[in-house]
Structure 1
């Protein structure tokens, strides 16, 4: 779904911050899509006595950017301000007690449902002028726990001790429990989409799929109910990644964790790492908007002199190989795709884990155009 541009828009939006023993960096890029429909939220230190809690979220809009933008502004407030989340008052002195695990789970669900209910009353939604919707994936990090909430096919992963130890589950219409709900609401799943149209089975907004009489909000063709998971924090926690499906379409959980971990050993800039992920996914063929938030814990990998030297040696090898190929190959074998093919064949084991050749394509292109005899850049695109 959605139209594409002739060339991708590669300008990036970056943001970073730190606090509560966390650091974060994010990147979003429009890419090949005609419109940027992604949004994000990153907050270190929450109100209502939760200054040592933090919140991160990615929203992937479809059929417009209205719902995703509104969710980025309002979801956190709807979660932490509702009575289910905020827990109980201490009867001895009237102070508010921090929410229990059950309070947080209930409050997250209530926040999602109340936000969805509120958006339904917006004039453009009531009139049908705006039919947009959005997936949502968020993490609340408290001193002892990480709360994951997912609605749709944006995804969050936790890297612990060098491995992807947890990932949220995508909500697709073909999933048995999702398909059953859709059919019970009088809908169907065709070409892996709700009524042959929508590719996700849970989302905020999308009110044209939420009008079945006699069914509650979580029983509709498309449900706004988040799936919630809780992980105990561990000294072995390294980082979290939250991203839209523009990232996950071309990288697996394990690939992304391996790639981010390898980049953390050569730079401590999480914005730069996020940019590297987005560029790599563009080169791997992602045609969607892309947004990613990387959140590092105190146990995250540190910059390593050995890793930095290895990266420099790889760059030197690439430059030497390109120079050799341009000198010895006939003109018809000097185009960039052929050079990329040869580099892939001869240096395959040297490329960054999880990213492969695509992780170095930007460097390869710039080196190629610097070295080749004819310095007119081909219009070949990513």
Structure 2
């Protein structure tokens, strides 16, 4: 075509008896991207050629010519017509990429995303087995007490109407002697079972039992009135777990390897406890209640309390936490503050879980936690309980492979570099 000549239109091309050579069926000589008009006879020829070459029917919608290297014998080459290329999968933009949140993944160790297969809850019923270990540590005498009852029906010789299966566990960290801790250990469960609210209203029965134990310590002539104790109990009937806490012992639940605190430490320095103490006329000095006691709730210690029934800064009312056990709940760790002073909740859960996978012995797990706390220079009495909810060890956790790589943009690199350079100046 000469310079300045107007190119032919599609109608002009279609009106010729034979199409121009550019669109003639033969070796592909058209430039890249040149569109072939949809002439019915031509499209049909394209379909026939593509079928012979195994290309299917996809050429029926549109056809594009493509360039290639001319062969030495063009007349011997088989005509090649390429069909419309298949649609490529869409590539998401940065805005479309979604990262799994901590609620989508079962987080283990508090940070790493871990996933473990979940099982159906139909017909699930926990089986209780426990182990415990106590040592006086660096102190000259032992003031801790504890109790482990895996089968309440058998322990109490209860009638058939008694709720079953049932279990009871407790840790009692005494101070100013162990009179209060020993008395509460021996009598608290009896006060719970004999209360008029049991078993219809477990919360009322538990609170009432704590109050009766506290008043009994005040009325006893054989026990030291200056003696006191913190109390942490776990009462379980079927799948219902009721935790009662008074003081700074702690109960931690393992939920597929993730530590879940079931209690709050009642320290005078805690914001909620400090506000309560000061509203009732108490003071917090150097971390101690009235400069004397390192906890803000306890049974006993009647030298710091007023008359029975009066409200005072040192409270004998427990905090209750009720939950329903599922197959994700593997075991419960209950321990006095001697452990938690030197170890986090997640660290204890991780250690116990690893040990259960190795030997599946809750008593040995308790002993290992106590030993670890001593090696970390715990300077208090140590008592640890491990309560398992299955006869089998916990399932192994699978770590998912991340499909999206984390990276930093050049803009981010420049920002960081600028901040570093500014610091050097």
TM-score band by shorter chain is 0.5 to 0.7
State the shift of 1:287 in Å: 0.8
> Following the alignment from structure 2 to structure 1, what is the Cα–Cα distance between the partners of residues 373 and 271?
29
- Residue 325 of structure 2 aligns with which residue? 233
Question: Are 1:277 and 2:369 counterparts?
Answer: yes
> Following the alignment from structure 1 to structure 2, what is the Cα–Cα distance between the partners of residues 124 and 108?
25
1:302–1:187 distance in 2 versus 1, CA, 3 Å: closer
Kept after mapping to 2: 8 A contact 1:153/1:200: yes
Question: Are 1:118 and 2:216 counterparts?
Answer: yes
1:289-308 matches, within 5 Å, as 289-298=381-390, 301=393
Kept after mapping to 2: 8 A contact 1:31/1:288: yes
| Structure with the largest fraction of strand | 1
Question: Are 1:184 and 2:279 counterparts?
Answer: yes
> Following the alignment from structure 1 to structure 2, what is the Cα–Cα distance between the partners of residues 303 and 23?
17
What are structure 1's unaligned runs of at least 5 residues? 1-18, 87-98, 305-382
> Following the alignment from structure 1 to structure 2, what is the Cα–Cα distance between the partners of residues 162 and 300?
15
- Residue 24 of structure 1 aligns with which residue? 130
- Residue 366 of structure 1 aligns with which residue? none
State the shift of 1:130 in Å: 4.1
SS in 1 for 2:197: helix
State the shift of 1:302 in Å: 5.1
State the shift of 1:175 in Å: 2.2
1:83-112 CA-partner distances (Å, limit 9, x unpaired): 1223xxxxxxxxxxxx3xxx1111111110
1:59-101 CA-partner distances (Å, limit 9, x unpaired): 0001101000111111111112111223xxxxxxxxxxxx3xx
SS in 2 for 1:123: coil
**Count of equivalent residues:** 265
4+ residue segments displaced more than 3 Å: none
Of residues 164, 176, 183, the one that matches 2:259 is: 164
Kept after mapping to 1: 8 A contact 2:243/2:262: no
| Structure with the largest fraction of helix | 1
> Following the alignment from structure 2 to structure 1, what is the Cα–Cα distance between the partners of residues 353 and 231?
25
1:42-81 matches, within 5 Å, as 42-46=148-152, 47=156, 48=158, 49-81=162-194
> Following the alignment from structure 2 to structure 1, what is the Cα–Cα distance between the partners of residues 395 and 381?
30
1:299–1:160 distance in 2 versus 1, CA, 3 Å: farther
State the shift of 1:176 in Å: 2.8
1:32-55 CA-partner distances (Å, limit 9, x unpaired): 111100000111233451341100
Kept after mapping to 2: 8 A contact 1:45/1:53: yes
- Residue 209 of structure 1 aligns with which residue? 304
Please say which structure displays the higher CA radius of gyration.
2
1:102-113 matches, within 5 Å, as 103-113=201-211
SS in 1 for 2:346: helix
State the shift of 1:184 in Å: 3.0
1:5-39 CA-partner distances (Å, limit 9, x unpaired): xxxxxxxxxxxxxx971110000111111110000
> Following the alignment from structure 1 to structure 2, what is the Cα–Cα distance between the partners of residues 285 and 108?
35
State the shift of 1:216 in Å: 4.0
SS in 2 for 1:241: strand
State the shift of 1:136 in Å: 0.7
Kept after mapping to 2: 8 A contact 1:155/1:244: yes
1:286-336 CA-partner distances (Å, limit 9, x unpaired): 0110001100112863598xxxxxxxxxxxxxxxxxxxxxxxxxxxxxxxx
> Following the alignment from structure 2 to structure 1, what is the Cα–Cα distance between the partners of residues 270 and 176?
23
Name the TM-score, length of structure 1 as normaliser.
0.66
Of residues 331, 346, 349, the one that matches 1:254 is: 346
- Residue 144 of structure 1 aligns with which residue? 239
> Following the alignment from structure 1 to structure 2, what is the Cα–Cα distance between the partners of residues 161 and 142?
22
1:173-192 CA-partner distances (Å, limit 9, x unpaired): 12233223322332211011
Name the TM-score, length of structure 2 as normaliser.
0.59
1:158–1:302 distance in 2 versus 1, CA, 3 Å: closer
Kept after mapping to 1: 8 A contact 2:126/2:239: no
> Following the alignment from structure 1 to structure 2, what is the Cα–Cα distance between the partners of residues 37 and 139?
20
